[in-house]
Amino acid sequence: MILPKVRDPRFTTIRRGGSQTDLHHHQLALWAATCAEHVLPIFEAVRPDDRRPREAIEPIRAWTRGEVAMMQSRTAGGHAMGAARDLRGGARNAAHAAGQAAVVAHVAAHELGAAAYAIKAVRATAPSGQAEQAGRQECQWQRDQLPAEIRELVLDDQQLRNEICWSVFAD
């Protein structure tokens, strides 16, 4: 579970009663796609012929450009998560990261799911005794990719939802 029980209005667009602009929603989606894409090789090493997670990344980017409908990206996200169904460890988490990124078009707060699953993927594939350090490095890499306009929002969200995101954002 990566979503809070009560939705944060900062992750709901203005037209739906929240305070988020479309620009920030798009920036969250692009950041989530970047986080997920960073760990896709972990999935592809295990399932090189299964393109579903990788194919979930382009629709979310296309959605931010107004080229596809939200439902197309959301559907691609579901397919990416389906690719994870019979897997374990890093490959499963990497596929989930791609799926979470794609569904940001539907619910902006899934951006943290993409990041958290990516960190879990890196932790799961790190050499013995190095999982925590690898996770911290991935988290820092993700933070370095944050656009300035959404940086404070995401960092605050990481603190607020760290516990329900497996504490992967702890410093």
| Tens digits of residue pLDDT in 72-96 | 999 999 999 999 999 999 999 999 9
Going by the DSSP 8-state scheme, the letter that residue 20 receives in this structure is B
- Whole-model pTM: value is 0.96
Can you tell me which residue has the tokens 């389906």?
Answer: 82
How many other CB atoms are found less than 10 A from the CB of residue 126?
A: 17
Give the residue-averaged pLDDT of 113-120. Answer: 98
Cα–Cα–Cα angle for 22, 156, 95, rounded to 5 degrees: 70
Give the pLDDT score at 1.
60
Quick: pLDDT tens for 4-23: 888 899 999 998 899 999 99
- pLDDT interval class at 136 (50, 70, 90): very high
- CA dihedral for 109, 52, 54, 118, sign (positive or negative): positive
- The backbone region for 95, taken as left when phi is positive above 0, alpha when psi lies in -120 to 50, beta otherwise, is alpha
